[in-house]
């Protein structure tokens, strides 16, 4: 510290400005003047003394002189960073929301979660929708940045959202709200996509959030409960709820349908019942989508029968599934012109290194229609993969023609899914047919790819087929890895790793996604 005062003399001598002889316990000057000497400070007290007030006073004096000499530079003032939960919500909306939800817009483009920003603004404070959105966004951020701390916080928010949702479900009015149904739907996204934990000990919440095959089965049982919530909402969700309720219903119907196919169980009756109501009450739910949902109900019922009756005969299996497959083909042939997509082709390379599935890309009217096309392709993949599995188990030559026909369907549907990749991920093709680098904004950052969330399941299904060549499977794996890294979807990374480890085709125990009963 800086030295203060002329000497170590007592305070009286310093005040009188005379030299102190430093005698103890009383100095000579105080004794002669008959003053009470306060004593001479020790050497330690002289060195270690409190000078805070002096330093503060000097600092204020210098600051006042500088202020009079020049103006403050406001550009040096930095805003505080937003709270972590706000950053998580912003990341989720940036990466997972796409489409037009403005009724005044000239062109309405349906996408994914396009209703979420408005729904968040209308939601109550400390409600489940805002909490689960923050949890999903924080989990995705944790996966992108590989932050275990953020992942732990995401699980904490998820647990809070469950408690808030339970409170909503116990209230008859809030149970029927769009916020409650939206929270259930976003919980399915968190459970499927984001977190990956080690094995035991696992809580219920952790099981459904783990990105592996066994925990995906646990998740499937969880999402079926959402159909009960739709049933309790009644017809008012279409007549009074408006566009938000209709789009929530359509998106949740897609998730529940996919889950029923994985469980090989019938689609819940409430979902089929309210689909017909939705078509009559709201133009957002069009007849084309409802017809597709109706056919999915027939297929789910047929596959449930195959499972429970343990039907393995190729002839019987084909007799059950092929008529339904033809119904889906009729649905495709009667699609309106507004559902048509445009295909663009590249010339084959001279060295033949660019494969057929890379020489075409398709452009769709919007993400919703693109996802419906891929759902149709996945349905046909499920049907014909099941037929092929039964034929190969039987090992009979009489079904050889049927086998080749189903293999052609698998090849065509898998290629068409691959052709949709550039549209979903905002890519385009180079002159040699290879995908370009991702499109970037003006500041060099990659643009968000909300379509990746709609794409990774069809891609994974295409990659796991026995008819998919190794090079195509590797290309699908690299695409899944890009989706997982860009969007923070842990399940997509898990899928990529699973595809990369396979040399030929998957065994029956690994293709559970086709259904619980799988002939092997």
Q: Which two tokens stand for residue 197?
A: 């934990």
Q: Which residues contact 252 (CB under 8 A, 6 or more apart)?
A: 181, 184, 185, 226, 230
Rg (CA), the chain: 34
SS3 360: strand
Tell me the pLDDT band of 41, cut-offs 50, 70 and 90.
confident
Cβ atoms of 194 and 209 within 8 Å: the answer is: yes
pLDDT at 200 over 90: no
Tell me the mean pLDDT in the region 84-98. 90
* C-alpha distances out from residue 260 to 6, 297, 444, Å: 90, 9, 42
Window from 58-62, 73-77, 91-95, 152-156 with minimum mean pLDDT = 73-77
**Percentage of the chain surpassing pLDDT 70?**
71
Other CB atoms within 10 Å distance of the CB of residue 289? 20
User: 0.85 cut: is pTM over it?
Assistant: no
Characterize the bridge pairing of strands 360-363 and 342-345.
antiparallel
Of the candidates 79, 55, 73, 38, the residue with the CA atom closest to the CA atom of residue 2: 55
pLDDT at 205 over 50: no
In SS3 terms, 60-89 reads as HHHHHHHHHHCCCCHHHCCCCCCCHHHHHH
Q: What is the DSSP letter of 443?
A: T
H or E segment at 362? strand 360-363
Would you state the pLDDT for residue 221? 53
**pLDDT (tens digit, 9 = 90+) per residue, 382-411?**
999 999 888 888 776 777 788 889 999 999
Q: Which two tokens stand for residue 107?
A: 């062109």
Strand-pairing partners, residue 362, are 343
Would you state the pLDDT for residue 55? 64
pLDDT at 430 over 90: no
Of the candidates 317, 321, 520, 344, the residue with the CA atom closest to the CA atom of residue 423: 344
Distance CA 92, CA 446 (A): 15
Of the candidates 52, 69, 41, 61, the residue with the CA atom closest to the CA atom of residue 2: 52
**pLDDT (tens digit, 9 = 90+) per residue, 468-502?**
888 899 999 999 999 999 998 888 888 899 898 87
Domain spans, the chain: 1-58, 341-520
- How many DSSP H helices and E strands does the chain contain? 24, 2
Tell me the pLDDT band of 7, cut-offs 50, 70 and 90.
low
**pLDDT (tens digit, 9 = 90+) per residue, 343-356?**
988 766 555 555 66
The per-residue DSSP string of 189-251 comes to: HHHHHT----SSS--HHHHHHS-SHHHHHHHHHHHTHHHHHHHHH-THHHHTSHHHHHHHHHH
Average pLDDT, the chain: 77
* C-alpha distances out from residue 151 to 26, 139, 145, 491, 493, Å: 69, 5, 10, 15, 16
Tell me the pLDDT band of 517, cut-offs 50, 70 and 90.
very low
Other CB atoms within 10 Å distance of the CB of residue 46? 14
Which class is 1-58 in CATH?
few secondary structures
């Amino acid at each position: 510290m800086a030295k203060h005062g002329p000497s170590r003399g007592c305070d009286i001598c310093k005040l009188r400005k005379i030299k102190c002889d430093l005698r103890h316990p009383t100095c000579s000057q105080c004794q002669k003047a008959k003053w009470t000497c306060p004593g001479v400070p020790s050497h330690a007290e002289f060195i270690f003394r409190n000078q805070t007030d002096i330093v503060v006073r000097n600092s204020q004096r210098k600051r006042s002189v500088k202020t009079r000499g020049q103006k403050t530079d406001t550009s040096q003032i930095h805003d505080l960073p937003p709270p972590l939960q706000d950053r998580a919500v912003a990341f989720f909306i940036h990466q997972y929301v796409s489409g037009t939800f403005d009724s005044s817009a000239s062109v309405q483009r349906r996408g994914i979660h396009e209703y979420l920003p408005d729904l968040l603004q209308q939601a109550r404070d400390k409600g489940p929708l805002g909490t689960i959105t923050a949890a999903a966004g924080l989990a995705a951020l944790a996966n992108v940045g590989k932050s275990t701390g953020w992942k732990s916080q995401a699980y904490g928010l998820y647990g809070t959202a469950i408690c808030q949702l339970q409170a909503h479900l116990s209230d008859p009015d809030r149970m029927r709200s769009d916020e409650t149904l939206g929270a259930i739907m976003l919980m399915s996204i968190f459970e499927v996509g984001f977190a990956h934990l080690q094995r035991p000990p696992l809580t219920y919440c952790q099981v459904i959030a783990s990105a592996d095959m066994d925990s995906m089965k646990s998740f499937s049982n969880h999402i079926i409960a959402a159909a009960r919530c739709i049933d309790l909402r009644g017809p008012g969700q279409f007549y009074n709820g408006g566009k938000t309720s209709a789009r929530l219903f359509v998106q949740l119907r897609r998730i529940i349908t996919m889950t029923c196919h994985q469980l090989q169980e019938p689609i819940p009756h409430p979902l089929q019942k309210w689909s017909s109501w939705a078509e009559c009450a709201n133009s957002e739910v069009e007849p084309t989508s409802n017809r597709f949902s109706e056919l999915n109900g027939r297929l789910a019922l047929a596959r449930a029968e195959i499972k429970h009756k343990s039907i393995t005969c190729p002839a019987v299996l084909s007799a059950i599934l092929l008529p339904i497959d033809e119904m889906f083909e009729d649905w495709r042939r009667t699609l309106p012109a507004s559902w048509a997509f445009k295909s663009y082709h590249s010339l084959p390379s001279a060295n033949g290194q660019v494969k057929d599935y890379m020489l075409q890309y398709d452009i769709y009217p919007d993400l919703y229609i693109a996802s419906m096309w891929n759902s149709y392709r996945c349905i046909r993949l499920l049907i014909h993969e099941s037929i092929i599995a039964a034929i190969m188990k039987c090992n009979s030559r009489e079904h050889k023609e049927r086998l080749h026909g189903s293999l052609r369907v698998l090849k065509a549907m898998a290629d068409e899914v691959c052709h949709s990749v550039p549209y979903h991920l905002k890519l385009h093709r180079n002159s040699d047919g290879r995908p370009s680098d991702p499109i970037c904004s003006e500041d060099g950052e990659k643009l968000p790819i909300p379509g990746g969330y709609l794409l990774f399941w069809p891609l994974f299904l295409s990659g796991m087929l026995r008819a998919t060549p190794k090079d195509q499977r590797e290309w699908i794996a690299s695409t899944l890895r890009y989706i997982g890294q860009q969007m923070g979807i842990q399940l997509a990374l898990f899928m990529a790793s699973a595809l990369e480890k396979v040399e030929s085709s998957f065994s029956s125990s690994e293709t559970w996604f086709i259904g619980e009963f799988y002939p092997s």
